[in-house]
Amino acid sequence: MSVSPQTIAATGPNAEQIDYWNGDAGDKWAQNRDRLDAMLQPFSEAVLRLASAKPGERVLDIGCGCGATTFELAAQAGSALGVDISAPMVARARERAAALKSPAEFALADAATHPFAPASFDILASRFGIMFFLEPVPAFAHLRQALAPGGRIAFVCWRPLKENAWVSVPLFAALPHLPAPEPATPGAPGPFAFDDPERFRRVLTEAGFGSIAIEPHDALLSMSGEGDPVETALRQTLEIGPLARLLKEQEEAPRRRAVDAVREALARHVKDGKVRLGGAVWLVTARA
């Protein structure tokens, strides 16, 4: 593989996301990656199970972030390429690959436009890295060209926010203390872009995929790190995710009231020494 660049230009349809994931969000994900990987582990297992990579199969991990799923896919298949637009996250993935002596490789690139060789992969996999394309049909059509005929996809993406207690519990605790946020645009790039499975099915169909299956899957997520379970869960909630984004825009006083309410809400969900809240995803498979 040729050496990929250390920085990425914010151009093309995903320029806004490139800016976003190369700013504070990418730094926070890179700093918190161990805790996030522990929290999201049930969904890594789901991606691995869906992908069922055999030794020698060629795997592309889309929006691989700091590489947790890429390492596991590479362990299954013997190699895997992770691609991501976030320079801090790809840098972290490469450091981890060296430390783990993993055969996984990483490229800093927009998966929607990167010139992959045609038919160069057997599996496209992703844990939460495929919901950020501004133009999803051309993006998935582009990715399909990179799949060998009959190649398969194995994706995990979030179901609606209200089914995801790990987001809705802190968010709904904070909202009464904040000015009403702009209503979200359904299907806009972001964690819940494919919360409507029929929309995702249409996008994949228009992009040329067949044998599409979209199944619900639930897991209890541990939000706490080492130390006080509520305070560590609170810190993560304030740094990463939809509430973190919303709180960034607030004045100090309402922000403080919202944070107190979130702390109280999280404290009601401590089980076995950790804040545990439900996560709800779609398991998505299809064929090129």
Ligand X SMILES: C[S@@+](CC[C@H](N)C(=O)[O-])C[C@H]1O[C@@H](n2cnc3c(N)ncnc32)[C@H](O)[C@@H]1O
The residues that touch ligand X, with contacts defined as CB under 6 A, are 14, 17, 21, 40, 63-65, 68-69, 83-86, 89, 110-112, 127-129, 132-133
Other beta carbons within 10 angstroms of residue 182's beta carbon come to 6
Which residue number, 30 or 174, has a Cβ lying nearer to ligand X? Answer: 30
Which residue number, 188 or 228, has a Cβ lying nearer to ligand X? Answer: 188
- Cβ at position 180, least distance to ligand X in Å: 26
- Cβ at position 88, least distance to ligand X in Å: 9
DSSP result, 22-90 = TTHHHHHHHHTHHHHHHHHHHHHHHHHHHH-PPTT--EEEET-TTSHHHHHHHHHHS--EEEES-HHHH
Using DSSP's 3-state secondary structure scheme, residue 260 falls into: helix
Which residue number, 30 or 169, has a Cβ lying nearer to ligand X? Answer: 30
- Cβ at position 64, least distance to ligand X in Å: 5
- Cβ at position 177, least distance to ligand X in Å: 26
Distance CA 274, CA 180 (A): 31
- Cβ at position 179, least distance to ligand X in Å: 26
Distance CA 173, CA 169 (A): 6
Which residue number, 64 or 284, has a Cβ lying nearer to ligand X? Answer: 64
Bridge partners of 147, per DSSP, are 121
- Cβ at position 185, least distance to ligand X in Å: 17
Which residue number, 63 or 261, has a Cβ lying nearer to ligand X? Answer: 63
Distance CA 105, CA 90 (A): 10
Which residue number, 195 or 255, has a Cβ lying nearer to ligand X? Answer: 195
- Give alpha helix (H) positions in 184-286: 197-206, 229-239, 242-248, 252-267
Place of tokens 């939809």: 242
